[in-house]
Structure 1
Amino acid sequence: MTAPTEAADFPAADPSARIEVLLVGMNGDLRGKMIPLKAEDKVWKNTVRLPASTQSLDIWGDDNDDITKISLTLGDPDGICTPDRNSLTTLPWGPAGSKQVLATMHTLDGEPHYVCPRAILANVMKRFEEKGLTPVVATELEFYVMEPDFRETGVPMPPKALVMNGEVEGYQLYDMRATAAMGDFLETVREYCDHMGLPADATTAEFGPGQFEVNLLHKPDAMAAADDCIYLKRVVDFAARRHGFKATCMAKPYGDHAGSGLHVHASIIDKDGRNVLDAKGGDPLKLKSITAGMLRSMQDAQLIFAPFANSYRRFQPGSFAPDKIDWGFGNRGTAIRIPDSQGPAARIEHRVAGADANPHLLLAAILGGILLGLDEDLDPGQVTTPDSAPENPDMLTYDFLTAVERFRASAFIRQIFGAEYQRIYGDTKRKEAMAYLRTVSSFDYQTYLPRI
């Protein structure tokens, strides 16, 4: 983020201006405190505190103490919200002069808390630093915009500007009429990104009605790239509110329309500035080994890429959401795509994650897979082409609970995320999966009740 960081970079403050101190939760939710701007000093003196359990809340906001044992079991102790000045930026939907900053939770002893997604990603980044390597990362976020009355109707409805006589007007992929119809909203997204210094690049209409994608430019700092992505989700949310819409990064809001993904582009720069993924100017075997590392860890990390029950509705045969663990050159149907590029632009695209993924945990998992390929000489197996593909490839699961159990048992996950976070995240998601299985849906009633 090319964010304003000095007082002179911010507009003159309204008397009601504030600074929001934000923590990244387990589910990619942002929780924190609003502090009057006149009391901003306390933020930088590390005196802002919240319970450490704030970042282990489940999707319903329950403190989950029966699983985590870090809430009431310990008296719900405080942690220190340590702000990252690199993430300090404006709050364009707030009173003039307002700011926001992302924080990393620390224990009262000053150690990064194991339950903090930013701390987890920082630990992975240190392993690259020890090797003299720097990950360069960019993200592409898809999302849907819809009418705001879903709470009353119980179902999402595309924006009226994209519907005729109650019917969606076909697919809107790259259709400039769709971007024009939603132009005011998209202009606000751009305005907010510019205001905050987010490196937003291209915006496109995607397949689904009211579905769009915003690309963020690459950063030679994985933490900054994850911060940019989670800020972009916030931008989309507040821009939609401004125009009377609801925006969602839910992976599959419509059963009969495309799901939303969060694609990650990554390259690795060595201490001499060379891109180790450049197959022509670098080491082709290392490119393949890194690809293999990401493929090898993909099943174990699928719960990070697809963190909710709804996420698994996105994985459909024949869709652009991959269900096979495969790789290809320039192939958007594979889980790992190697674009046709060389030199500094040479990179790998990881195409598995849904838009609902937590950006910090997502990058930790992907970079962890890359580390596997750096530490060992691995073979990714047969490349997938339009003319040939591996027989009986390993598959991603369509089942939430299966992904949960793989995550809970994985040595790779334990190595990247730590044993305690593996336990807390895995057991919390198992609780969510079991609640999902207990829910009898309208499909059950409509399909089985009349016939069985």
Structure 2
Amino acid sequence: MASDKSNDRAAASDARVEILLVGMNGDLRGKQIPLGMQKKIWAGEVRLPSSTQSLDIWGDDNDDITGLSLSVGDPDGNCIPDERSVAAMPWAPEGSLQVLATMHEFDGTPSFMDPRAILASVLKRYERLGLTPVVATELEFYVMEQSWRETGRPSPPVDLTYQGDPNGFQLYDMSAVDALGDYLNTVRAYAAAQGLPADATTAEFGPGQFEINLLHRPDALAAADDCIYLKRIIEQAARKHGLKSTCMAKPYSDHAGSGLHVHASVLDAAGRNIFDAKGGEPTKLKSVCAGMLQSMRDAQLVFAPFANSYRRFQPGSFAPVDLTWGYGHRGTAVRIPDINGPAARIEHRVAGADANPYLLLAAILGGMLLGLENELDPGEETTPSHVPDNVPKLTHDFLTAVEAFRHSPFIADIFGERYQQLYGDTKRKEAITYLRTVSDFDYRTYLPRL
């Protein structure tokens, strides 16, 4: 497959193949292999330390709390490429390729730490039931000036400002799309070169904020691959144009946060959408809503994996705080856009753009399965004129979400007890570090007065 892909363009002498592993934070780590030596990739001979996928946001292996690195000799694992994910790297020398891999132990079993393997294990549960999830993602992100390195603060692209201030809200504003046209054209060109199923691009509320929709896939693993590749594309395109892109959930305190919305339906063995209500009561749709809502607080750490993520959950924003569902209601945590025909589906609206797409889809599909298998009922619908009483809420607190994740039977079932402990302990350290850090807000607010 690799040679077929590389023949699409004349390979440069410095062309390469990058074999990529996905870390717990959705980061890509791996190796660059000269194109002429790529056979070792397809033979499964590329190795990296198994602890590569245990690294925290700072790149620390946390061996003192995980016991997965030097204390056990920091053993290697095999990086087994998924040839379906082979894609061009249009920002690299001609003929360069990238491929996503899954870490395996030497006995051939997937590593419990690999996010792709975790999602694959959830998909096997659907397969055993004769079901196939169909998934699409919508990614919001910001583009900003490179001056953030010097100033330590984000600044909107100058073409979207007047005397340094943003030109108001830019929701669906085509002038904002035009102003960043060269950058967005590069994003689209890179996506086309990779065969990425990119659909609409829209300007969102914040200055320099955009959303790109990816088309539905009857393969949730491929849909997660699409999303991780899209994140890389927007970053590489920004570099080309002297800009910075970010999928931080809340890069500006006074502008909208960025989400990662997921649309999902389920096909039966005959390829029929099981959510299609055919003009009747959408029983299965309501059951999956109930399953997602029931598991949502336990999985919030997946949807909001960093301290910054919790700044996005604000009353009156499009980031849901209440565990609600509704038909066509964008203020709910789970929205049902359609109940009839092939388009019958749910939209999960909680996750931030900073979420790891593999863990995100594992949690969502796991919640859907919980609802389907137990025929759960979501309770009252939320409408613009009616919010049910005593609706449970998501937390605004990072550490609270960590503890919910660490002690959840649902998480242990979907992610495995070992990954639950690894992810939970690693994020607990991150949350405690955040709480111990005295911020500029503390100094500005309290030091002059106390």
Instruction: Report the TM-score when normalising by structure 1.
Output: 0.98
Letter in 1 for 2:221: M
Change (3 A) 1:11 1:334: same
**3-state SS in 1 of match to 2:153:** coil
**3-state SS in 2 of match to 1:344:** coil
Q: Give how far 1:5 is off.
A: 7.9
Partner residue in 2 for 1:59: 57
Change (3 A) 1:162 1:81: same
Q: Does residue 403 of structure 2 align to residue 399 of structure 1? A: no
Letter in 2 for 1:215: N
User: Runs of 5+ in structure 1 lacking a partner?
Assistant: none
Instruction: Give deviations 1:112-156, integer Å, cap 9, x for gaps.
Output: 000000000000000000000000000000000000121210100
Instruction: Give deviations 1:336-364, integer Å, cap 9, x for gaps.
Output: 00003521111100000000000000000
Q: Does residue 312 of structure 2 align to residue 314 of structure 1? A: yes
Structure-to-structure mapping, 1:28-427, within 5 angstroms: 28-280=26-278, 284-340=282-338, 342-427=340-425
Give the Cα–Cα distance (whole angstroms) in 2 for the partners of residues 277 and 377 of structure 1.
13
Give the Cα–Cα distance (whole angstroms) in 2 for the partners of residues 44 and 377 of structure 1.
43
Q: Give how far 1:9 is off.
A: 5.4
Letter in 2 for 1:225: A
Q: Tell me if structure 1 keeps the 8 A contact 2:282–2:339.
A: no
Q: Give how far 1:7 is off.
A: 4.1
Letter in 2 for 1:431: K
Q: Does residue 431 of structure 2 align to residue 440 of structure 1? A: no
Equivalent residue pairs, number: 450
Q: Give how far 1:450 is off.
A: 2.0
**3-state SS in 2 of match to 1:343:** coil
Q: Tell me if structure 2 keeps the 8 A contact 1:138–1:217.
A: yes
Give the Cα–Cα distance (whole angstroms) in 2 for the partners of residues 124 and 296 of structure 1.
18
Q: Give how far 1:279 is off.
A: 2.2
Give the Cα–Cα distance (whole angstroms) in 1 for the partners of residues 166 and 206 of structure 2.
9
Give the Cα–Cα distance (whole angstroms) in 2 for the partners of residues 152 and 421 of structure 1.
38
**3-state SS in 2 of match to 1:432:** helix
**3-state SS in 2 of match to 1:108:** coil
Give the Cα–Cα distance (whole angstroms) in 1 for the partners of residues 149 and 424 of structure 2.
30
Q: Which runs of 4+ in 1 moved over 3 A?
A: none
Instruction: Give deviations 1:277-298, integer Å, cap 9, x for gaps.
Output: 1122687222111110000000
How many percent of aligned residue pairs carry the same amino acid? 69
Q: Give how far 1:69 is off.
A: 1.2
Letter in 1 for 2:271: G
Q: Tell me if structure 2 keeps the 8 A contact 1:88–1:102.
A: yes
Give the Cα–Cα distance (whole angstroms) in 2 for the partners of residues 193 and 236 of structure 1.
9
Q: Give how far 1:173 is off.
A: 0.3
Give the Cα–Cα distance (whole angstroms) in 2 for the partners of residues 163 and 123 of structure 1.
47
User: Runs of 5+ in structure 2 lacking a partner?
Assistant: none
Instruction: Give deviations 1:350-386, integer Å, cap 9, x for gaps.
Output: 0000000000000000000011011102110110001
382-391 vs 223-232, which deviates more?
Answer: 382-391
Letter in 2 for 1:200: A
Give the Cα–Cα distance (whole angstroms) in 2 for the partners of residues 39 and 92 of structure 1.
20
**3-state SS in 1 of match to 2:342:** helix
